[in-house]
Structure 1
Amino acid sequence: MNYSLDELKYWNEKIEKLAEEKGLDFYPQEFEIISFEDMLCYESYVGMPSHYPHWSFGKAYEKLKTLYQYNLTGLPYEMVINSNPCIAYLMKDNTLILQILTMAHVYAHNDFFKNNRLFKENTNAKLAVEMFKNHANRIRSYIQDPSIGYEKVERILDAAHSIRYQCGLSEKKNEEEKEKKKEYENLIEFLIDYGDGEDWEKDILNIVMEETRYFIPQMENKIMNEGWASWWHYNILKELDLDHGNHIEFLKIHNSVIRPSTGRINPYYMGFKIWEDLVRRYEDPQKIFEVRALERDSSFIRRYLNFELCREMNLLEFEEQDRYYVITEVADEQGWRNIRNHLADIVGMGSIPKIIVKDTKKSDNTLLLKHLFDGRELEATNTFETLKYVARLWGGKVVLDTTMNKSKKRIVCSSDGKISLE
């Protein structure tokens, strides 16, 4: 580092004071200075100081390490944990101005975690780190149990990971309401309640479900959250009285963060543009704090991505036709609403197919599943392999109703993992 910890503390105090004056409301903030090797580890293990072991995390680490070594990818400037106190990691190789920008960015993320309703209603920031530590200890205890061991634990974790997003956020329903509901929307919870697994297997399913629910608000708020942090770091640094050289470097870094991407959405860019437009259009300075508290990406886009922004960002919609991608919509006066609505439908959890439990047949222990088809077909190979995992967790035959090649199909997975189509 070409700067001292005292300098970092000085700038952190200035940023924290300015953020409070601007109305940001955040948990106590802690920063840790780490190496790029540490950042690779944290990125592979979703940022948590403690996490249960599984081969997929090691695979993610080796992939990131290889890409980084060959300059095929960069590392994040920071990583922030939704916890109270909020923990953020800063790479020690960052320049001083990059650390200053990153700290301002972090305080805005911290504010978002504390105040957005999805985080407030579905995560417990005070117990987050302890929850992951507790989960890691329970998984390791099963691995060390001579009657269970690593291979059996890995088998259940593999299966649980394959359906981790088929749980959604927690729903507060009593037992009577559950009984009245004919279709079960939470596949993992259904397997915990009615599957053939032993207690330790169901505990692992519950662990995976709880950790997935911790991350779902982050998935559902990627554009809002990154845009919020980018807008605030930009406006905070403009008021920090940086010298000319540092101000130029700050603008270069900021512009690289919110640079539009070809062929895909850069959440920093889109989020920043929408927040910037909201500030410009509404006289009430509290409007942005209200939006930050109440919305998620899907509603944020549907309500605030307007024609002018679509045109400014030059948004296009592509569709695959006869092995080629063709433009089906452009952001003109007729097409921008279709682009906006389609984007709102597929952000966050909207990008993941929804599978519900339709029924069970006790006569032959069959689990009947239904794909809520929305025009997007399931990828066949992934579907077949996932059904094998579900059959393992269920302990019997699994049947999935879906649409393939524009016609109704029934995929059957026998208890021994054989797949057939009806």
Structure 2
Amino acid sequence: MQMLENTGQLIYEGADWDYDKIKRAYDAIERIAVDEMGLDTYPNQIEVITAEQMLDAYSSIGMPLMYKHWSFGKHFAQDETLYRKGLRGLAYEIVINSSPCISYIMEENSMTMQTLVIAHAAFGHNHFFKNNNLFRQWTDAKGILDYLEFAKTFIIKCEERYGHQAVERTLDAAHALMSHGVHRYPRKQPLDLREEQRREDERTEYNRKMYNDLWRTVPTKPGVKESVTAVESRKALLALPEENILYFLEKKAPRLHQWQREILRIVRRVAQYFYPQKQTKLMNEGCATYTHYYIMNRLHQKGLMSDGALLEFLHSHTSVVFQPNFDDPRFSGINPYAIGFAMMQDIERISTQPTDEDRAWFPDLAGNGDPMGTLREAWANFRDESFVLQYLSPHLMRKMRMFEVRNDASEPEMLVEAIHNERGYRKVRKALARQYDIGYLEPDIQIVDVDLSGDRKLILQHRVINRVLLDESDARAVLRHVANLWGYEVMLVEVDATTEAVLKEHTVSASSLLLS
């Protein structure tokens, strides 16, 4: 921290807030964020909302211009009931990855909490959104609000023209496949949502002649099997295997109407937009928490915040970064705020006050004297998995008392594989990093084959890791949505990722709901 600079003039007093106080707090925060921390943000838009509006934002995944769907209302009713009964609190803020970056702050917050969330969201999260490479590759902050407005208008028009039930069934199916509607690897051109909207306006009726249903009735010679070469050629023509199930259905499903294809495109665009957030929870919250902690302390040091306000902030901050021990009844996993904030502080320590151990583990980082530059580089170039592998230090592993446990369902007891000692540091770090690997956490399900000129059965494959199969009822429920979008029978084959042995098969036929 820098030397104490007491100006003797508080930016606010008391708990009550007004817009003048918020403006003064914002200006003071901005000076520290830009001049001292070197943060680079999108333009900010601060919106003060009620508890009910916050609940509404919860239900529509935080987006200000979201199309209507029954699931949003269900989530709203559930969250509101728990909130009114005192069984659940509300977030102090919600921040939107857009340009301008929209930060919602609760009108029920005290002035200290308003100051805290502006530092946390409008500068911490905002800087991360703008500078992290995953967000730069996968999101279009300038175009997202216009695209959501287009999506909302398009779906309303579809409901007016084709009926509410038909649109809702299509949305239900698309939402069921949302987590399997993303491209996991970068494409050559960055996402441009305005261009997507323009292309949709110019799109004509899909070329259904490619899938003329009459070809299926053409008889073939009995006993003739398709050659291996023909199967490989067919897969190559269809670009199989394909992990983005919504994309494949949008482009290849034989019996979907054009408006249904556009709805699938909208849902997968929204899913793709949130894909980076799934991979950067620890880093994003760690960046924002470190930012608000630095700024709030600097405000106090400069005499702009009272001792009472600092104590109120610290009470909230320590609650956010609290990490129960593994044997504590409150333990529910590793708190991303806790470990994210701890790693950011640890990087600052290594950069300014390294030990011999730090110099051995981080020769390029230890003692470089530039903690903020080091943090900004990490925030820009890593995601959670690689960040943990690169920056988790033995010092922090000891401090947080980390250890690795093997929990094998075929064995009667759990086994401690590694602890925070010389032999275990790398194993613990690798095990923790894997917990943030999307490829490990989410099932690997891909479309592997379909014969469009034959029976058109769509075949999906789930590559099973650690013998963890899909839940039978969930798998069949989602497959019904796939079958209804595809229009024909769908089979899911679960195979062992190592041996290729078939472990289980699920088959579902299509109904006529989406085809009318």
Partner of 2:474: 382
The letter for the 1-side match of 2:138 is N
The letter for the 1-side match of 2:444 is K
1: distance between equivalents of 2:93 and 2:424?
Answer: 37
Partner of 1:186: 244
Partner of 2:197: none
Partner of 1:356: 446
Q: Which has the larger radius of gyration?
A: 2
2: distance between equivalents of 1:315 and 1:178?
Answer: 47
The match for 1:341 among 427, 430, 433 is: 430
The match for 2:492 among 378, 386, 400 is: 400
2: distance between equivalents of 1:321 and 1:328?
Answer: 15
2:116 aligned with 1:58: no
Count of matched residue pairs: 412
CA contact (8 A) 1:29 1:86 kept: yes
Which of 46-55 and 161-170 deviates more? 161-170
Residues 74, 27 of structure 1: CA spacing in aligned structure 2 closer, same or farther, 3 A cutoff? Answer: same
SS of 2:170 mapped into structure 1:
helix
The letter for the 2-side match of 1:153 is V
Instruction: Provide the TM-score with structure 2 as the length reference.
Output: 0.75
Partner of 2:296: 237
1: distance between equivalents of 2:114 and 2:268?
Answer: 35
Residues 368, 60 of structure 1: CA spacing in aligned structure 2 closer, same or farther, 3 A cutoff? Answer: same
Residues 325, 244 of structure 1: CA spacing in aligned structure 2 closer, same or farther, 3 A cutoff? Answer: farther
Deviations 1:53-92 (A, max 9, x none): 1111111111111111222221101000001111101101
2: distance between equivalents of 1:28 and 1:192?
Answer: 35
1: distance between equivalents of 2:66 and 2:93?
Answer: 19
CA contact (8 A) 1:35 1:93 kept: yes
- TM-superposed CA distance for 1:179, in Å, is 4.5
- TM-superposed CA distance for 1:138, in Å, is 0.8
The match for 1:126 among 142, 154, 161 is: 142
2:318 aligned with 1:255: yes
Partner of 2:153: 137
SS of 2:459 mapped into structure 1:
strand
2: distance between equivalents of 1:290 and 1:77?
Answer: 28
The match for 2:276 among 212, 217, 224 is: 217
- TM-superposed CA distance for 1:137, in Å, is 0.8
The letter for the 1-side match of 2:345 is E
CA contact (8 A) 1:377 1:403 kept: no
2: distance between equivalents of 1:180 and 1:138?
Answer: 29
CA contact (8 A) 1:219 1:348 kept: no
Residues 371, 111 of structure 1: CA spacing in aligned structure 2 closer, same or farther, 3 A cutoff? Answer: same
2: distance between equivalents of 1:389 and 1:137?
Answer: 24
Deviations 1:108-134 (A, max 9, x none): 110111100111111111111111111
The match for 1:267 among 325, 328, 336 is: 336
1: distance between equivalents of 2:400 and 2:263?
Answer: 44
SS of 1:238 mapped into structure 2:
helix
Which of 20-29 and 283-292 deviates more? 283-292
Residues 15, 46 of structure 1: CA spacing in aligned structure 2 closer, same or farther, 3 A cutoff? Answer: same
Partner of 1:40: 55
Partner of 1:155: 169
Partner of 1:276: 345
2: distance between equivalents of 1:377 and 1:335?
Answer: 30
SS of 2:449 mapped into structure 1:
strand
The letter for the 2-side match of 1:276 is Q
- TM-superposed CA distance for 1:325, in Å, is 8.1
1: distance between equivalents of 2:343 and 2:413?
Answer: 28
Higher RCO structure (Cα 8 Å, ≥6 apart)? 2
Deviations 1:305-324 (A, max 9, x none): 23332332233555364798
- TM-superposed CA distance for 1:178, in Å, is 7.5
1: distance between equivalents of 2:383 and 2:347?
Answer: 15
2: distance between equivalents of 1:125 and 1:298?
Answer: 24
Residues 165, 325 of structure 1: CA spacing in aligned structure 2 closer, same or farther, 3 A cutoff? Answer: farther
Instruction: Provide the TM-score with structure 1 as the length reference.
Output: 0.91
Q: How does 1:106-117 map to 2 (within 5 A)?
A: 106=121, 107-117=123-133
Partner of 1:14: 28
- TM-superposed CA distance for 1:200, in Å, is 1.0
Residues 412, 378 of structure 1: CA spacing in aligned structure 2 closer, same or farther, 3 A cutoff? Answer: closer
Residues 348, 73 of structure 1: CA spacing in aligned structure 2 closer, same or farther, 3 A cutoff? Answer: farther
2: distance between equivalents of 1:46 and 1:32?
Answer: 17
CA contact (8 A) 2:447 2:460 kept: yes
- TM-superposed CA distance for 1:331, in Å, is 3.3
The letter for the 2-side match of 1:244 is D
2: distance between equivalents of 1:113 and 1:171?
Answer: 17
Residues 191, 328 of structure 1: CA spacing in aligned structure 2 closer, same or farther, 3 A cutoff? Answer: farther
Partner of 2:357: none
2:331 aligned with 1:331: no
The match for 1:98 among 90, 109, 113 is: 113
Instruction: Give the fraction of aligned pairs with identical amino acids, expressed as a percent.
Output: 36
Partner of 1:420: none
2: distance between equivalents of 1:180 and 1:387?
Answer: 21
